[in-house]
Every structure is written in C-alpha cells, then in structure tokens.
Chain A
Amino acid sequence: MEATTPLLQVENLGVCFTHGAMEAHALRGIDLSFYKEEIHGLVGESGSGKTVTSTCIMGLLPSPPGKIVSGRILFDGKDLLAIPETEMRKVRGRQIAMVFQEPGKYLNPAFKIGEQITEMLILHLGMTKAQAKERARELLGLVGLGKDGRVLDSYPHELSGGMKQRAMIAIAISCNPVFLIADEPTTALDVTLQLQILKLIKKLRDMLGMGILFISHDLGVVNEVADRVSVIYAGRIVESTAKSQLFTNPLHPYTRLLIMSIPDARKRGKRLASIPGRVPDADNTPTGCAFHPRCPLAVQRCRVENPSLVEYEIGHAVACHRAGETWNI
C-alpha cells in the first residue's frame, strides 16, 4: 500500500474562519494521504477540524465565513482547490461521495429514496429513468435494504435510523465513487446498528475498492474499521500511522490518553482515564504545541515551539517534542 501513489492527497491545508474581526484558524496546515482500498480513520474531539477537512475535500466549505488560506488537495492529477466549480461538480458525487452523520436530517424528507438515488445516476452517468431505477434497486440490495425494491418507493420517515443510513450509503456509492468520505456515519445510531453499518462499509470497500476517509470522535469505532489512523488536534495532525501501530505503540501523549479512555471489558472496575480540559477554540490556540496545557509531559519547549509532523519510525509520523515518552498514571 505504501508504495503506490495516493488516491487523494491533502497538502498543508489551512482554513480560517472570520467572524467580524475575529479569526479562527480551524485547520493549521494538515497533510493527509489516502490510498485505494484503504480506510483511513481521522480521529479527534469536536472542534478539532475533522469536518472542516471533509468539507474542503468536497469543495463545500461555506465561504464566507470560511477561507482556504494554504495548501492543495490533489486528486486524479488535479488540485481540487484550483479547479472551477463546474468541474468540481463532476467530481462531487461522481468520484468523491459523502455519507453524513444524521441520515434523518441529511436525507430530503420530501423525496422518495428511489428518486434521491436515481437523480444522481441520471445526472452523472446519463442513465435513462428506467436504467437508473434498475440500478437503484441493485444498490438497495447491495446495502442490505432488500432486493425487491420496496424501499425505492419509501420516504425517509418510513425507514428506521439504520435503514436511513443504509439508504444514505446507497446514494453515496451509486455512481461508483473512487473515494468515500464517511463523517461520523454511526454516531447517531444504536450500538448494535453501529457494528452493522461498519461491517457494511468494510464490505463495500472490498467490493468496490474505494478509498475511504472515516471521520470519528470515537477511537473505539475507528479501531473496528480503519487500516490507518490519523489523530487530529486543534487543526493539526498530531499522529498518523497504521492502525495496529497506533494501538500498540502510540507515540503522542494525546493519542495515548485517547486509547486509555476507550472503555474495555478487560479493564472492568478500574477508573476510566479522561483527558482534563478541552480542545482550545480555533480563535485562541495556545502557543507552541496546542496540546501543552492538557499534556502530562509538557515542558518549557512545548509552550514556545510548535512541533512539526515528522516520521519517528517507518510509516509512523508524530508531532511531539516528547514523542514516545510515557508517564505514571
């Protein structure tokens, strides 16, 4: 996987939101590489910049107030940030598709599921209505909504939460995209449903060979699906590596704390670790390493010098002055 060229590459992406005189640096230069057939988990707390990253890739950053201040997004030999909107529209939905967190809100209540799928097929692939309907029926079967196509004629409110998310996924994969962004696709669902949806996403990755950006605040969920994980904190990637590496050998104290805060049956009865404090606001990021006020290992250097993301060992990048060090809990 390492040797092939990335399917999509985010380079030094910086995003700034302005509200009057206030400037909030939501992303402060992030690098991410996505590969074919790989599920890349992006983990971070709310407000860390996960969703902003995905909106930038989709070219849907609301501007104003948002503004891309630096970087490139390379995909299919183009910089998605530089191409005109008409060209970007052919990428959106056709080559890069997206699944959202709350399918109940992100599906249009006034249209049947069938129509919400077929309109894309007709628009992007130039299918006739009948062809599109047939394909929509297949897609619903593929995501586990039955092969009889009953759901085609259903409105979103007639479906359960899990079914809605499956329908949302059917819409996203309808045009065989090469890259899929799943933004917290299981957060709004019951735990039992979560696992089913995660399995479905993995199955579709295997069948269709998509590269997937899987965004979550929950490292436990990411552990279920991802091949590679990047941890984002206050608009910067602080650690990025293969999943197995990350869980066995976390280098960044933030990652380590996140892993310790995953509930685990084996640690039953013990107190669950929590990270004191909260993610700094994007308009008031601390100097030096943004994590230093919450970091158990912080030293003077962390307060003044922002560590850059460097390869600490092969295929394992981290941005920390005290990478790999541990402390007594």
Chain B
Amino acid sequence: MDLFWFFLRRFGRLLLTVFIISTLVFFVIRIIPGDPAMIIAGMDAPPEDIQAIRVKLGTDKPITVQYLEWLSSIVRLDFGNTMISGEPVTKLILERFPLTLILALLGISIGIVIAVPLGVLSAVKRWSFWDYFGLVFSQLGMAIPSFWLGIILLLIFAVKFPIFPLFGSETPAHFVLPAISLGFARAAVILRLARASMVEELSKEYVITARAKGLTENMVKYKHALKNALLPIITITGIELGYMLGGAIIIEQVFSLPGLGRLFLYGIYQRDFPLIQGGVVFVAIIFSLINFVADILYSIVNPKIRFE
C-alpha cells in the first residue's frame, strides 16, 4: 500500500517538473531579445509579412492567452508545426525518437554490463589486477571524447576492416559502433560509482552480522552487500539514460544517424522556435519519466526511501 502512495507522490512530482520546465521554456523564449517573427522574416521584411508570421506563430495574441495555449498544447502533446517545413513537431520528434531510444538503451546496456561487474569486482578484490584494470579503464573512458572514439572505431572497424557499415541506421549492425562509443564513457562513470558504493557497503556493520551467521563469503558479498550497493547505481543509471535520451548530438553526427540530437541541432540552426520549444519539453518529459522509473525501482530495492 505504501508503494502505491509513493508511486502517486512521485508521479505528482513528475507532473510538477514538467509544468515548471514548460513554463520556464515559455518565458525564456519570450524574454530573449528580438521578435522571433522578425528574425524569421529577415531584417528588411515588410511589416505585413512580419505580422503574418506572428499570426502563424500565435505571438500576436496576449501573453496570458499564449501561455494557456502553450500549456494546453503540452497536455495534448501537440507542439505545433515547424517554421521551415510546416510539419507537426510531435510527428518529427516521434519519428526520430525510436533511433535515439535504441541507441541510448544499447549504450547504457553496454555501460552497465561492463561497469557493474568490473566495479563490484574492483571493490571486492581491492588493489588486485582487476582493480587496476578497472581504474585504467575508467580513466580512459572519462578522458577519451566519444566523438574521437567513434571516429577511431569507424576507421578501424568500418574502413580498414569493413566489419560494420560506415553510415546509416538500417540494420542492427549499424548500431554496434555508435553504441560502443556512447557506452564507453557511461561505463567509466558507472564503474567508479559501483566500486565506491560496493567498498562502502562492505565496510558496513551488517556485513559482520552476515559473516557471523555463517554465510559463505559469496553470499555475504553478492547477496547482502551488493543489494545495498545497487541503490546509487540505479539512480546514476537513470540519470545517464535520461541524458542520452535527449539525443546524442555528437555521436549522431559522427555516424550520420538521424536521431533526436541532430533534429534539435537542425532546429537551432534554423531558429525553428516551435521545434526547439517542443524538443526541450519533450526531453524534459522523457528525463522526468526515466527518473520516475528509477525512483520506483529504487524504492523496490530499498523500501526505506518510501518513508522519507
């Protein structure tokens, strides 16, 4: 029962976050100097044209009306049409989203699969070969920019040895190199956290209890300590995934993948206000959703959080 209330409370928080962000986006865009209509029409455009664009954008209406329309458009998940092509923003976003989602999920999976076991092993066998290996790995992962890794991977595995395709997103093989480039840096971050978390849990008093109960070392470490050590890992994974779902602009550029990142970048180049607004709010919604799911998972692993 308390899980249900926790669920509701966190869902309320999600709605509040999205509301605050949409409001911020709305006002920030209007505070920035310069009338979007004027920018779109160009410096020398006749006033009629500018007025026509204002009507199209809806910026001719009073600000309160604009704000209410904006809020209702978010509830309907309808962010209007883009300035340039006139296509619905929501449709464009939803077209691009599956690719970004797949890329992000693959990237984070690679990150988790490498980082969690290696981090835990580093903590359990501190100062061993695996610990130093993990240390070097994570230093590299944090130091190497993902675009550089992407280019190097392309040069080696697509150009020199053409195992994987160079461009595009048609087959699963297209996703391998981008996912590795993306996952590598994530793995570095998660690994450090997993190690630190596991080291801390292994020093807790309940570990002594577990040993005093006559449990095997494996049960002490991988059942009692690990379950507690997973908590911060779940949180950080949620946050990382949230970032990635906003689109990986650089990786999408390097691998020519038509994902969200490139869509938003395009929107910014073209000063396509509806697209930018819609994009920011969409990312905010996705980010909040992921955190919401992470919180629920967290509370299942650690019920104490529900009482906070």
Complex CA gap A90/B215 in Å reads 9
Chain A residues whose CB sits within 8 angstroms of the CB of B304 once the complex forms:
109, 155, 157
- Cross-interface CB contact of B302 among A110, A119, A123, cutoff 8 Å: A110
- Cross-interface CB contact of A123 among B215, B224, B303, cutoff 8 Å: B215
Q: Does B44 contact A (CB under 8 A)?
A: no
Do the beta carbons of B303 and A108 come within 8 Å of each other? no
* Cβ proximity bits B198-212 to A, threshold 8 Å, 1 near / 0 not: 000000111011111
Q: Does A58 contact B (CB under 8 A)?
A: yes
Complex CA gap A124/B216 in Å reads 11
Q: Does B213 contact A (CB under 8 A)?
A: yes
Q: Does A260 contact B (CB under 8 A)?
A: no
Chain B residues whose CB sits within 8 angstroms of the CB of A91 once the complex forms:
214
Q: Does B307 contact A (CB under 8 A)?
A: yes
Chain B residues whose CB sits within 8 angstroms of the CB of A199 once the complex forms:
none
Q: Tally B residues with Cβ within 8 Å of A.
A: 21
Complex CA gap A155/B302 in Å reads 9
Query: Using a CB-CB cutoff of 8 Å, which residues 208-240 of chain B contact chain A?
Result: 208-216, 219, 224, 227-228
Q: How far is the CB of B159 from chain A (nearest CB, A)?
A: 49
Q: Does A97 contact B (CB under 8 A)?
A: yes
A-B pairs with beta carbons under 8 A, tally: 73
Chain B residues whose CB sits within 8 angstroms of the CB of A58 once the complex forms:
211-212
Query: What is the predominant secondary structure among interface residues of chain B facing chain A?
Result: helix
Do the beta carbons of B206 and A92 come within 8 Å of each other? no
Q: Does B24 contact A (CB under 8 A)?
A: no
Do the beta carbons of B228 and A89 come within 8 Å of each other? no
Chain A residues whose CB sits within 8 angstroms of the CB of B307 once the complex forms:
157
Do the beta carbons of B214 and A92 come within 8 Å of each other? yes
* Cβ proximity bits B36-48 to A, threshold 8 Å, 1 near / 0 not: 0000000000000
Complex CA gap A157/B306 in Å reads 11
Do the beta carbons of B206 and A171 come within 8 Å of each other? no
Name which of A16-24, A74-82, A99-107 contacts chain B: A99-107
When A100-B205, A157-B304, A157-B307 are in contact, do A108 and B212 touch as well, CB less than 8 Å?
no
Complex CA gap A109/B201 in Å reads 11
Known: A93-B212, A105-B204. 19 other contacts (CB 8 A): A89-B216, A92-B211, A92-B213, A92-B214, A98-B209, A98-B212, A100-B209, A100-B212, A106-B208, A107-B209, A108-B227, A109-B206, A109-B228, A109-B302, A110-B301, A110-B302, A119-B219, A120-B214, A124-B214
